[in-house]
């Protein structure tokens, strides 16, 4: 990596900041002005740019979708092509502008959003240059992920962060749960393969495991169904099992959310040290030991 | 708006009140008597009117349903027509009575329930006058929404409000969650369109996204199902993902309900130490031992 | 009602007791001995009787099921008939014994379990006497409900009562929720009837409402599916809606259970008045105001 | 049982320990060195052995699955056979090594994991010796269960135990709930059998009960669906019922998890007033204002 100097505007950047604003703001001049518009949303121009970009991304997704519908493509093929090229041009210009105004272009280009930005424009060019790669053109739908970058700027940031933190805190429990479920569907899928057999649609163990997942998650496509009495008995047990098992991840996430929600009423301030985050039932400041005024709840 | 004088009976009307009793009560005379019957439920006549109206609305929905069943319409067509015209006549009379007794008829007519009341009678007339509009006749089912107006008068008001408030408090988290889910189904639907292709029923990206929603929500109609091994592998991952994802809105709502439920018995204050959070059955303060005043529950 | 004297053994019988032990115990003699065996489970004979009865009921359900399977009936028809008549005989004897030993036979015969006990034996007799009533013979499956009476005697009584009380406490919220869901499926079902029409399987509004319930509850049979683009768009919205809506009853029940669970650690006793049910955080007795010893949690 | 001397290394072995490390460690020599590698994971060699074993088990499951797919078996049949025999050889050697180094080989052989270990190698040998037993070869998939033994050694032990304890605590409530659901589906299945009859696919009561489970758990395969109006009405009620019923196990598990989660930060005691329930971040007692000792979290 050629540039190791820290960006002045963010002396202690967290990994998330790094991810979201890939490479520190420039210090002055037109590049700073461009940067505040493209990468930030604290100015009127910056907010307008973000709103416009969201609109263009959604329009672009609409074009990709319409392009995949045979009737629309045959009727409005030219319009869709013009729209696609216009949007690709705009996104290319935006990508170049980002590269231009950022302090470390190479680091930006290799960052998560730098790659997504490139993937948003590359397929259209490649589909023309290399006809064989036409199948790749639907990679354009990844443009949707660019909305995440903009979302961080809205009024929903706090909720977004809280949701993410809560879910992240449950990752170990969820992983253990998933391990159990995977073992369960492999064992039960194999059992059904033996019981029903290829004649009844359970053509192989992987297909039977796919069917077991279909059943345990209560999706139940019905493309494969048990035909024998024993198979139906085992299926019934699996459905009840899967139905009950669904309670586990829900319980994990609910408990996590509830525990965090219960700690929320923390707008109380300590009159001595001004610390926050006291529980409704606390009577003394947990940070300096001063007596807290009684909790005044809003008449909700 | 031509009438801006505030309704005397509700000096500080909230937006909800405004919605529910569209335009303030008249001050005296037969219009006030009619108003108390039609719009209110504090008198015996008012309650009887509401009960009768609920009965007529449900009967009317039954007529609309029966009218759509070929066998019933061919057998009892005349009876259904008579019933429909009688009900339309009664609803029309009610609509006129509401217009008559309300203080600001024009404001009522433009209010939410004013429009619903008009939509409840208009289709029957329009279907006769303009034969081409016969398809609109099922708009009559919106009569069902009129029950909401009456429900506000029952014993379930408090619970209804509590439910609504709790759900409203989760709207931001739910919206963020929905954004993620929508992005997920668009990206996964496109992936399946590329993997399975039109030959296996995934005829376009919108259809594939419809299938992805079917799968992730565990509905699983089975009208479109993956046929290739790779498609089934991706589907399996999607089902497990959707199954786990279902835990998120449930967790959000559960935590909100739990936090509100947990606070239900805590409006009691200790007269000595002002501590809160006493159970309904407590007789002495759990923090200072002072005697608590007896718990006053609302007559629910 | 001819007998109004209270049963001596239960001076203040609750409605539930009334329901479960329909008519008070006799005072002495062989009737009392029979009563303790048949109606109670505090003696060894009583427990054996209950276990035997559960076994016979389950066997009887098995016979009813086997009787409905064409292959089993043609092969083992005689065996099934013998078993059925033996079981009916035993249940008849039990019914007569219950009538004999109970203090108020007529009140027992009209009670909930008295009717169930009669329904358990009547169909077999009726099917022979009145051949046209053969369709009624599957009413025998109601014998299953008799297990409820016996369950009250097991070790699960406390949990059973706690579950029931918690669910009963949520009945108003659940009812409001159900009203909303029913309105939603009627309106959305009608919309789909208009959009898809009889040609695509939505043959009438009731059928479309059935389909809407299928979709919103995420069952998704797939016997009726949307074919038009607009119909699939509306379906997608309905699935997401139903998926999210599922969070509401779960949240209601979870919050209720959590609130009750949170109040559970109530094995603390007041050293003064011996009252129970103090919260972990309480420092003074809520009943007499005496100071509580600090809460000692088990090292779990 | 021939060996009753307690294993010195675990003076008070719980039933779980017994299950996981079937028979106590040897006291010295090469058997102890082998034991620490095979049964324990505290040494580098032991961890490498466990990782290698997990890899081999997963590879072996892959081979079993590939062997069941007709196309793969016809193409790569020889490779699959070689892999299978190599893996069976390795697992056999491991089984023998376990028998050799453990203090009480016979007790190990009869323990849960001893049987699983034998079942992991036996089918391959049996399929060669007794051709008629070829159907049993898929018992090999039970090798997957051996991963559980290894999982106990990872960083997820605490979470795994907490999940298990919480679910175990709900077993009574879940059992009562399951009893109700089973009664419900038997009664409703019989009802649908009477209403729809064999002509509409409800060929017997067991099949109708299978369908009822399909419906109530919201799986909805669609292989059997109601055709009559009355049947669809009952189905609609069943779907709504099942949808609501799903809230019960989720509520039970959520409440259990929430109660445990809520107690997580409360093992701190105030040294002055012995109050509990302090948050991890608190520095002073919220009840008496005394300074709290710093929170000692386990190195998770």
> Long-range contacts of range B223-226, CB-CB < 8 Å, 24 or more positions apart?
B223/C222, B223/C225, B225/A221, B225/A223, B225/B201, B226/B192, B226/B195, B226/B196, B226/B200
Strand partners, C284: C291
User: Cβ separation of A144 and B275 shorter than 8 Å?
Assistant: no
Show residues of chain C in contact with B295, CB under 8 Å: none
C235 pLDDT above the threshold of 90: yes
**Domain check: are A137 and A212 in the same one?**
no
Q: How many angstroms separate the first and last alpha carbons of chain B?
A: 39
Question: In this predicted model, what pLDDT tens digit does every residue of A174-198 receive, in sequence order?
Answer: 888 888 889 899 999 999 998 998 8
Rounded Cα gap, residues D279 and D265, in angstroms: 6
Say which CATH number the domain at D250 has: 1.10.287.70
Strand partners, C291: C284
**Domain check: are C37 and C148 in the same one?**
yes
| Most D CBs within 10 Å, among B258, B275, B288, to test the D interface | B258
CB atoms < 10 A from the CB of D66, how many? Answer: 21
User: Cβ separation of B138 and C203 shorter than 8 Å?
Assistant: no
How many contacts does B have with D, using Cβ atoms within 8 A? 10
Strand partners, A284: A291
Which chain C residue is nearest to residue D274, measuring alpha carbons?
C294
**Domain check: are A79 and A132 in the same one?**
yes
A8 pLDDT above the threshold of 60: no
* Domain count of the fold of chain D: 2
User: Cβ separation of C249 and D243 shorter than 8 Å?
Assistant: yes
Rounded Cα gap, residues D92 and D85, in angstroms: 10
Q: How many angstroms separate the first and last alpha carbons of chain C?
A: 55
Alpha helices in chain A (DSSP H): 15-20, 29-38, 44-68, 70-101, 105-110, 112-129, 146-151, 157-169, 171-196, 205-216, 229-245, 247-262
| Most C CBs within 10 Å, among D196, D251, D275, to test the C interface | D251
Which chain C residue is nearest to residue B287, measuring alpha carbons?
C283
Chain B nearest-CA distance from D103, in A, is: 43
**Domain check: are A87 and A120 in the same one?**
yes
Show residues of chain D in contact with A170, CB under 8 Å: none
User: Cβ separation of A286 and D283 shorter than 8 Å?
Assistant: yes
Judge whether D295 lies within some domain.
no
Question: In this predicted model, what pLDDT tens digit does every residue of A49-65 receive, in sequence order?
Answer: 888 988 999 999 999 89
Phi–psi pair at B284, nearest 5 degrees: -125, 150
> Long-range contacts of range C20-23, CB-CB < 8 Å, 24 or more positions apart?
C20/C113, C20/C149, C20/C152, C22/C102, C22/C107, C22/C108, C22/C111, C22/C112, C22/C113, C22/C114, C23/C102, C23/C103, C23/C104, C23/C105, C23/C107, C23/C108, C23/C111
Of B219, B222, B258, the CB nearest to D258: B258
pLDDT, position B158: 66
Q: Place C258 in a pLDDT band, splitting at 50, 70 and 90.
A: confident
Query: Are the CB atoms for A90 and A56 separated by under 8 Å?
Result: yes
Rounded Cα gap, residues A236 and A233, in angstroms: 5
C155 or A229, which is more confident: A229
Chain A nearest-CA distance from C14, in A, is: 34
User: Cβ separation of A207 and B275 shorter than 8 Å?
Assistant: no
Chain C nearest-CA distance from A88, in A, is: 28
- Hey, which chains touch B, using 3+ CB pairs under 8 Å? A, C, D
Judge whether D284 lies within some domain.
no
DSSP letter for B291, please.
Answer: B
**Domain check: are A28 and A119 in the same one?**
yes
Exposed/middle/buried for residue B293 (C-beta within 10 Å: 0-12, 13-18, 19+): exposed
Question: In this predicted model, what pLDDT tens digit does every residue of A91-123 receive, in sequence order?
Answer: 999 999 988 888 888 888 888 888 888 888 888
Judge whether B51 lies within some domain.
yes
Rounded Cα gap, residues B211 and B202, in angstroms: 8
What's the domain range around B105?
A: 19-156
Show residues of chain D in contact with A203, CB under 8 Å: 69-70
Which chain A residue is nearest to residue B162, measuring alpha carbons?
A300
Judge whether C283 lies within some domain.
no
User: Cβ separation of C290 and B285 shorter than 8 Å?
Assistant: no
What is the average pLDDT value for chain A, to the nearest integer? 78
Chain B nearest-CA distance from A8, in A, is: 32
pLDDT, position B210: 94
Rounded Cα gap, residues D239 and A181, in angstroms: 25
Q: Nearest-CA neighbor of D57 among D190, D147, D169, D177?
A: D147
CA A94, A96, A100, A106 dihedral sign is: positive
Show residues of chain C in contact with D172, CB under 8 Å: 156, 159
Which chain C residue is nearest to residue B289, measuring alpha carbons?
C289
B283 or D46, which is more confident: D46
User: Cβ separation of C221 and A221 shorter than 8 Å?
Assistant: no
Say which CATH number the domain at B120 has: 1.20.120.350
Q: Place C42 in a pLDDT band, splitting at 50, 70 and 90.
A: confident
**Domain check: are A186 and A148 in the same one?**
no
**Domain check: are C23 and C152 in the same one?**
yes
Rounded Cα gap, residues C157 and C148, in angstroms: 11
CB atoms < 10 A from the CB of D85, how many? Answer: 12
pLDDT, position A23: 53
User: Cβ separation of C218 and B213 shorter than 8 Å?
Assistant: no
Please spell the DSSP secondary structure of C67-130, one letter per residue: HHSHHHHHHHHHHHHHHHHHHHHHHHHHHHHHHHHSS-HHHHHHSHHHHHHHHHHHHHHHHHH-
Rounded Cα gap, residues D236 and C219, in angstroms: 10
- Mean pLDDT throughout A257-284? 62
Of D148, D174, D256, the CB nearest to A244: D174
Chain C nearest-CA distance from A150, in A, is: 24
pLDDT, position A262: 52
Chain B nearest-CA distance from C296, in A, is: 17
Of A220, A254, A258, the CB nearest to C220: A220
**Domain check: are C152 and C173 in the same one?**
no
User: Cβ separation of D222 and B222 shorter than 8 Å?
Assistant: yes
User: Cβ separation of D222 and B218 shorter than 8 Å?
Assistant: no
Show residues of chain D in contact with A232, CB under 8 Å: 206-207, 210
Show residues of chain D in contact with B250, CB under 8 Å: 250
Rounded Cα gap, residues A147 and A145, in angstroms: 5
Question: How many Cα atoms sit within 13 Å of C138 on the Cβ side?
Answer: 21
Q: What angle do CA D261, D267, D273 make, to 5 degrees?
A: 135
pLDDT, position D113: 81
Question: In this predicted model, what pLDDT tens digit does every residue of B240-268 receive, in sequence order?
Answer: 988 878 888 888 888 888 777 654 444 56
> Long-range contacts of range A173-177, CB-CB < 8 Å, 24 or more positions apart?
A173/A252, A173/D159, A173/D162, A173/D163, A174/A249, A174/A252, A174/B244, A175/D156, A176/D156, A176/D159, A176/D160, A176/D163, A177/A248, A177/A249, A177/A252, A177/D163
**Domain check: are A135 and A256 in the same one?**
no
Show residues of chain C in contact with D193, CB under 8 Å: 68, 138
Query: Are the CB atoms for D245 and A243 separated by under 8 Å?
Result: no
Rounded Cα gap, residues A5 and A124, in angstroms: 36
Show residues of chain B in contact with A254, CB under 8 Å: 247, 250-251, 254-255, 258
Of B218, B222, B254, the CB nearest to D254: B254
Chain B nearest-CA distance from A107, in A, is: 26
Judge whether B274 lies within some domain.
no
pTM for the whole thing? Answer: 0.80
- Hey, which chains touch C, using 3+ CB pairs under 8 Å? A, B, D
User: Cβ separation of D244 and C174 shorter than 8 Å?
Assistant: yes
Query: Are the CB atoms for A23 and A2 separated by under 8 Å?
Result: no
Rounded Cα gap, residues A297 and A280, in angstroms: 9
Strand partners, B284: B291
- ipTM reported for the complex surpasses 0.90: no
D198 pLDDT above the threshold of 50: yes
Q: Nearest-CA neighbor of A143 among A112, A122, A125, A116?
A: A116
Q: Nearest-CA neighbor of C234 among C168, C189, C204?
A: C189
Q: Per CB distance under 8 Å, which residues of D are interface residues toward B?
A: 218-222, 250, 254, 258
**Domain check: are D216 and D138 in the same one?**
no
Q: Place D155 in a pLDDT band, splitting at 50, 70 and 90.
A: low
How many contacts does C have with D, using Cβ atoms within 8 A? 147
**Domain check: are C151 and C257 in the same one?**
no
| Most A CBs within 10 Å, among B190, B227, B231, to test the A interface | B190
Judge whether C12 lies within some domain.
no
What is the average pLDDT value for chain D, to the nearest integer? 78
pLDDT, position C15: 43
Judge whether D297 lies within some domain.
no
Highest mean pLDDT of the ranges A237-251, C273-287, D132-146: A237-251
CB under 8 Å to D161, separation ≥6 — which residues?
A: none
Strand partners, A150: none
Question: In this predicted model, what pLDDT tens digit does every residue of B136-195 receive, in sequence order?
Answer: 778 888 888 887 777 655 556 666 777 788 888 888 888 888 888 898 999 999 999 989
Q: Nearest-CA neighbor of B185 among B143, B214, B154, B153?
A: B214
| Most D CBs within 10 Å, among A184, A196, A198, A204, to test the D interface | A204
Chain B nearest-CA distance from A13, in A, is: 25
DSSP three-state, residue B284: strand
DSSP three-state, residue A70: helix
Of C205, C248, C256, the CB nearest to B261: C256
DSSP three-state, residue D284: strand
DSSP letter for A104, please.
Answer: -
Judge whether C97 lies within some domain.
yes
Show residues of chain B in contact with D258, CB under 8 Å: 258
Highest mean pLDDT of the ranges A247-256, C253-262, D61-70: D61-70
Rounded Cα gap, residues C33 and C56, in angstroms: 22
Q: What angle do CA B95, B98, B102 make, to 5 degrees?
A: 150
- Hey, which chains touch D, using 3+ CB pairs under 8 Å? A, B, C
D119 or D267, which is more confident: D119
Q: Place D24 in a pLDDT band, splitting at 50, 70 and 90.
A: low
**Domain check: are B138 and B242 in the same one?**
no
Show residues of chain C in contact with D158, CB under 8 Å: none
Query: Are the CB atoms for D292 and D275 separated by under 8 Å?
Result: no
Of C68, C213, C294, the CB nearest to D239: C213
What are the C-alpha distances in Å from A15 to residues A108, A164, C36, C95, D87? 14, 15, 73, 75, 43
Q: Place A295 in a pLDDT band, splitting at 50, 70 and 90.
A: low
């Amino acid at each position: 990596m050629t540039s190791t100097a820290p960006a002045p505007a963010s002396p202690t950047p967290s990994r998330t900041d790094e991810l979201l604003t890939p490479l520190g703001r420039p210090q002055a001049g037109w590049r700073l002005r461009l940067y505040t518009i493209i990468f930030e949303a604290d100015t009127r121009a910056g907010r307008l740019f973000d709103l416009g970009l969201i609109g263009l991304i959604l329009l672009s997704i609409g074009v990709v979708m319409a392009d995949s519908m045979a009737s629309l493509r045959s009727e409005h093929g030219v319009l869709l092509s013009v729209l696609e090229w216009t949007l690709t041009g705009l996104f290319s210009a935006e990508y170049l502008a980002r590269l231009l105004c950022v302090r470390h272009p190479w680091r930006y280009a290799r960052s998560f959003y730098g790659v997504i930005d490139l993937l948003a424009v590359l397929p259209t060019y490649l589909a023309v240059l290399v006809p064989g790669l036409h199948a790749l053109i639907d990679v354009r739908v990844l443009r949707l992920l660019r909305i995440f970058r903009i979302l961080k700027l809205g009024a929903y940031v706090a909720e977004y962060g809280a949701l993410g933190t809560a879910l992240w805190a449950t990752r170990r429990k969820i992983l253990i749960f998933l391990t159990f479920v995977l073992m369960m569907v492999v064992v039960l899928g194999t059992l059904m393969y033996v019981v029903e057999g290829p004649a009844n649609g359970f053509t192989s163990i992987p297909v039977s495991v796919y069917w077991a997942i279909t059943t345990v998650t209560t999706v139940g496509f019905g493309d494969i169904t048990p035909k024998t009495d024993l198979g139906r008995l085992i299926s019934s047990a699996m459905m009840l099992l899967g139905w009950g098992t669904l309670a586990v991840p829900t319980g994990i996430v609910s408990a996590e959310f509830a525990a965090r929600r219960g700690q929320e009423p923390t707008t109380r301030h300590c009159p001595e040290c001004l610390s926050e985050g006291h529980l409704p039932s606390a009577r003394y400041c947990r940070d300096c030991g001063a007596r807290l005024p009684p909790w005044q709840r809003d008449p909700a």
